[in-house]
Structure 1
Amino acid sequence: MEGGHSSMPQNETAIDVISQAIFRLRQKPFEAQITPPVQEFMKNLGPEMPAFQKMAFANSWLFEGMILKTYQKKPASNALVTTTMAPTIFQSGIKENVIPAQAKAVVNFRILPGTSINAIVSRVKSIIHDDRVQIKVKPFSSEASPVSSPEAAGYEMLNQTIKELFPNTLTSPSMVIAATDSRFYYTLSPNVYRFLPYKINKENINSFHGVNEKISVEEFEDAVRFYERLIRNVN
C-alpha cells in the first residue's frame, strides 16, 4: 500500500488491510468433524466412560453434533476435531511517524486428516476476498499425516509395552496435534506412531511452548524406561 508521513494517512493503510484479513479468517473457523483417529478413540475408551458418555460414543452417528460441541469447548480438545488456525506473527512499520507500505502476518494451521494445504489456501483466499493480500505457503509446511493402523504389529507392540510398565492404564488410538519429526518416517513405513508416557492435564498443558515449559524428573525417567522396554520387546 502507499506509505508516507503519519500526519497524512490514507483511508486505508497496509496495517488496516492485513488486520481485516486476519479478522475475517478468525470469524470463519473450520467446521468440526469426527476423524478416524477420534472415532477409534471413542470406540476403545467409550465402554470405560460414565453411562451417558458411553451411550453417546457408542452411537456417535446419532450424537455427533453434541459430541463435537463438547470437544469444541476447550482449545486442547477442539484441536482434535477442527483444522485450527492461529495468527502467530505480525510484522509492519519501522517508526511511529511513518505509515508502513507493507504489512505481513503469519497464520499457523494444524490440518485434520482428510484436509489438504491446497484446500486451506483456497478457503483462505475465498474468505479474505482481497487481491491486495498475497497468500504464500511457508516452506516448512507439510500435509496432514496419514492415519496409522491400530491393527498393525507396531501398534500392538506399543500397546504391550505400555501395559507392562503402566499396568492399570487404558490405551487407545488418538491424534497428536503437534508437528513432530515422525512425518519424515513415512518413506520407511505406512504406520508411524507417536507416543511418550507423559501425563498431560489442565495444569501443565498450557506450558507447551509457554512460560516455564518443563516435564518432571519422574516422567523423564519413565520415558527412558519405556523406550528401553520397547526396544527389548521389539528385539
Structure 2
Amino acid sequence: MSDPAVERLRALLRHATYSHEGAADADAAVEAFQAELARAFPLVHDRLERETVAGRSLLYRWRGAGDGPPAVLMAHQDVVTVDDDSRWSHPPFAAELVGDGEEAAVWGRGAVDDKGALGAILEAVEARLAADYRPAADVYLAFGHDEEAGGSGGAAIAALLEERGIRPDLVIDEGGAVMDALLPGLGPTAVVGVTEKGIMNVELVVEQAGGHAAIPLPGGSTAVLARAVLRLENQPEAPHLIEPTIGLLESLGTRLGGVRGWALRRARRFRGPLARLIARTSPQLAAMTRTTRAVTQLQGSSSRNVVPERATATVNVRILPGATIASAIEDIARVIDDPAVELRFLEGSEPAPVSPAHGPAWDAVAASIRDAFPDTVVAPYVMLQASDSRFYGAISANVYRFLPFDLRQEELQAIHGIDERIRVSTYRRAIAFFDALIGRL
C-alpha cells in the first residue's frame, strides 16, 4: 500500500530546483515546485498567510491564539548540482522508491538536503490544521530558494522579519542529525547545532616575471604560490575546545563508562588534552576544534608552455566561533609569511552567535527529539557547514540547527554527493518530530 506522505515527498523531489549561477530553466523549476507545494498541502495554502520574498523564497505565517513570541521553522527549496547522473544508482530526479521494510528508501537529489525537512514540516502542519489545532503563538515557515548559492533568500526573509519587529523565541533549521555510534560504545546521539562556523573565501595572488616554459626562471609565480599553499596545509591552527564542543563531550560522557566517560564528563578540566586527542581522531572532529583552511581553486597559465606572470589560489575558510574574519586573515598571513603573496578578501560572514543549550526553547527541541527518537542523547555541537539560519542571530537568541533524521554513515556521505536518499522510516520519524515540536509551540 502506498504511503501518501511518501508520494508527496517523491513529487517534490522530481523538480530540479537548482540555484547555482547559470542553472538552466531555474525559474520554471521553482515555479513548478511551488505549484506542487500548493497541490500537496492544500490546507497550508488555504489557511496560512503566504508571501514571496526575494523573488522565489517563501514565508508562511500561521497565526497563533496569543501574542507571545513566535517560532520559525526553516528549510530550503534548492538543491546542489548533479554533475554526472550516470554515476547514480537511480536517476537523481526520478524519486524512485526502492527496497522493502526498514530498507525502503526514496532516492533523489534533495531527499536529505533539504526537501526532506521541508516536506516533513509541511506534513506536520497540514495534519495539525486538519485537526483544527492552533498554536499558542505565531509560527512562521521560512523556505529560502538559494541556500546552496549563498542564501540571499534566507537573508531577505530574516531582514523582513527584523523590519517588522518580529523576534522569534525559537528558530530551527537544517543542521545536525541523529547519529549512531558517534563514539565506540555509544548509542544514538542527536547533535543539535547551537552555532555554526563563519565562512570566508580569500584569494592568494602572486605576480612574478613569467615567460617561455623552455627557459624557466627560479622563483616563478607558481613556485611561490605552491610554497604558500603547503605552509597552510602543514601548519593548521592549534586545536582548542569552545563551549559548545565542551557541552557535546560532556553529554557524550554521561552515556559512557570507564575512563573515557570519566574524562569526557570533565571535558572542561581536560580541554587541552582532549582537544589534541579529538583533533587526531577524525577530520570531522578536528574541524570542530579549529578554524579550517582548504585550497579549492588554483589558476596559472592558460597555455601549457607559458610560465604565468600571475598565479592564484582560492582558500575556503571556515571560522570557528570566537575567531573573526579579521583574525582568520591575520593567521593566514602569519603562516604564509611571504610578502610576495597578496591576500585578497573575496566574501564572507562571521561565525554565528552561540545559542544556549538550556532553557525553554532548547527543552522543546530536546523533548521533541526524544519523542521521535526514544533513548537518544541530545547534545549541542558546532555546525561546520553554513545554513540560512546564520541570518537569524540578530533577531533571536535561540537558533538551532537540526535535521530530524537518523542517518547512517553512507547516507551522510551521499549529501552533496551521488545516491542521495532517505529511508521511509526516517522520513516518518522526521514528521513525528515536527508534529511534537509544533505541539509545544
TM-score normalised by the chain length of structure 2 = 0.50
Deviation at 1:87, TM superposition (A): 1.1
> CA deviation digits over 1:96-154, x for unaligned, max 9?
11111211111112211111111111111111122221112222x11111110112322
Are the aligned partners of 1:158 and 1:230 in contact in 2 as well (CA < 8 Å)?
yes
Equivalent pair of 1:91/1:103 in contact (CA under 8 Å):
yes
Match of 2:298 among 65, 86, 90: 90
| Correspondence for 2:379 | 172
Give SS of 1:173's match: strand
* Alignment partner of 2:218 out of 1, 5, 11: 11
1:50 aligned onto 2:257: yes
The alpha-carbon deviation at position 204 of structure 1 amounts to 4.0
1:192 and 2:381 are equivalent in the alignment: no
The 1:176–1:11 alpha-carbon spacing in structure 2 relative to 1, beyond 3 Å, is same
Residues paired across the two proteins, number:
233
3-state secondary structure, aligned to 1:15? helix
Identity rate, percent: 31
The answer to whether the aligner puts 1:108 opposite 2:316 as a matched pair is yes
CA distance in 1, matches of 2:421, 2:219: 44
The CA deviation string for residues 12-53 of structure 1, in whole angstroms up to 9 with x for no partner, is 221111111111111111111111001112232312112111
The answer on 1:76 being equivalent to 2:273 is no
Q: Distance in 1 between matches of 2:268 and 2:403?
A: 31
Of 156, 177, 185, which aligns to 2:363? 156
Residue 349 of structure 2, aligned match among 133, 142, 155: 142
Structure-1 residue corresponding to 2:271: 64
Measured after TM superposition, the shift of residue 61 of structure 1 is: 4.6
Distance in structure 1 (CA, Å) of the matches to 2:330 and 2:267: 30
Q: In 2, Cα distance between the equivalents of 1:64 and 1:80? A: 13
Which amino acid in 1 is paired with 2:217?
A: Q
Contact persistence 2:240–2:276 (CA under 8 A): no
Match of 2:324, as an amino acid?
Answer: S
Give the letter for the 1:172 counterpart: A
Given the alignment of the two structures, is residue 122 of structure 1 paired with residue 351 of structure 2, yes or no?
Answer: no
CA contact (8 A) 2:278 2:286 kept: yes
1-structure distance, mates of 2:434, 2:260: 33
For residue 363 of structure 2, what is the amino acid of its counterpart? E
Structure 1 residues 208 and 82, CA gap change in structure 2 (3 angstroms):
farther
Looking at structure 2, the residues matched to 28 and 184 of structure 1 have their Cα atoms a distance apart, in angstroms, of 31
Letter aligned with residue 96 of structure 1: R
Whether contact under 8 Å (1:152, 1:191) holds in the other structure is no
CA contact under 8 A between 2:393 and 2:399: conserved in structure 1? yes
Q: Which has the higher helix share?
A: 1
1:14–1:206 distance in 2 versus 1, CA, 3 Å: farther
Distance in 2 separating the partners of 1:206 and 1:136:
32
User: Over the residues paired in the alignment, what is the CA RMSD in angstroms?
Assistant: 2.0
Larger RCO of the pair (alpha carbons < 8 Å, separation 6+)? 2
Runs of 4+ in 1 over 4 A off after TM superposition: none
Deviation digits for residues 142-170 of structure 1 (CA, Å, limit 9, x no counterpart): 11111101123221110111111112211
Structure 2 unaligned spans of 5+: 1-207
Q: State the match for 2:307 in structure 1.
A: 99
C-alpha distance 212-10 of structure 1, shift in aligned 2 (>3 A): farther
2:149 is matched with which residue?
Answer: none
- Asked whether the equivalents of residues 248 and 380 of structure 2 are also in contact (C-alpha less than 8 Å), the reply is yes
Instruction: Considering fraction of residues, name the structure with more strand.
Output: 2
Q: Residue 116 of structure 1 aligns to which amino acid in structure 2? A: T
Measured at CA, do residues 151 and 61 of structure 1 come closer, stay the same or move farther in structure 2, by a change above 3 Å?
closer
